[in-house]
Amino acid sequence: MIQISALPAFTDNYIWLLQDHHNRRCAVVDPGDAAPVLAWLAEHPEWVLSDILVTHHHHDHVGGVERLKKATGATVYGPASENIPGRDVALNDNDRVTVLGWEFDVYAVPGHTLGHIAYYHHGRLFCGDTLFAAGCGRLFEGTPEQMHHSLSRLAGLPEDTLVYCTHEYTLSNLRFAVAVEPNNPDIADRLEKVSQLRDSGRMTLPSTLALEKLTNPFLRTGETSVKQKADERNGRDNRGPSEVFAALRAWKDTF
């Protein structure tokens, strides 16, 4: 069995740590900073870092990769179409890799960046900055249509899938979700619970896809209430879900 835990980095990043207790080998996802990982390894000298999974090229996700690779000899996996430091295995859509005995399906999820990928294994999704708890990533490189399609692909995974994104943005995302759907009781309930978690210094991740479908406005672009609010915001009839998504994303960027 693989244990998954989070190593906090910077102000709001999580580096996901996967531990194979049988073989005392571990892997990390998106190590933007090597220091938290090296500190953990120093505290657990019996463990070996064997693999590094990268979702996209932004510095807060790859900044620690080369130092970790040099220190441990770990194999680095990352998107084929992006410049990933130290990458050993270049991954494309629908590829499959085995890490710590787990088979991961690779999904191309452009939007936040053009080459962004996600890793999925039987109910566990490592999605970087594509899908957030109650939100989604900014469109630094891709189009609204690309991001909407990427989110729709991820939303098609089983509803009990655990969502391991890379930032603690849940509280601010839910405040926006309330603005989009002020009468959604699931959002109100989640906001209350997340507020309590953050007040006590606890993390809000992982989420589940089922919860995201109830409370994440970017996965609810087909809902009449969401469309009406998007239409109201930009003063036009957003004819399809991707247009609704574009209106929501533009609103969130200045929220």
Read off the CATH number of the domain in which 180 is found: 3.60.15.10
- Of the listed 57, 61, 116, 149, which one is catalytic? 61
What phi, psi does 6 have (nearest 5°)?
A: -115, 140
Task: Look up 44 and say whether it is catalytic.
Answer: no
Which residues contact residue 88 at a Cβ distance below 8 angstroms, ignoring those fewer than 6 apart? 75, 76, 77
Task: Look up 61 and say whether it is catalytic.
Answer: yes
What is the percentage of the chain residues whose pLDDT exceeds 90? 98
Task: Report the distance separating Cα 187 and Cα 181, nearest Å.
Answer: 8
Task: Look up 112 and say whether it is catalytic.
Answer: yes
- Of the listed 57, 116, 149, 167, which one is catalytic? 167
List of the chain residues with pLDDT < 70 = none
Task: Look up 149 and say whether it is catalytic.
Answer: no
pLDDT at 95 (0 to 100) = 98
Which residue, among 166, 165, 208, 164, has the nearest Cα to 190 in the 3D structure? 208
- Of the listed 20, 30, 51, 129, which one is catalytic? 129
Task: Look up 231 and say whether it is catalytic.
Answer: no
Task: Look up 59 and say whether it is catalytic.
Answer: no
Report helix angle 241-253 to 224-234, nearest 10: 60
Residues spanned by the domain of 236: 2-253
pLDDT at 166 (0 to 100) = 97
pLDDT at 1 (0 to 100) = 86
- Residues in the chain, how many? 255
In the structure encoding, which two tokens stand for residue 119, read together? 């890793």
The CA-CA-CA angle for residues 188, 218, 216, to 5°, reads 25
- Of the listed 20, 60, 116, 148, which one is catalytic? 60
Task: State the total domains in the chain.
Answer: 1
Residue-wise pLDDT for 132-167, tens only, equals 999 999 999 999 999 999 999 999 999 999 999 999
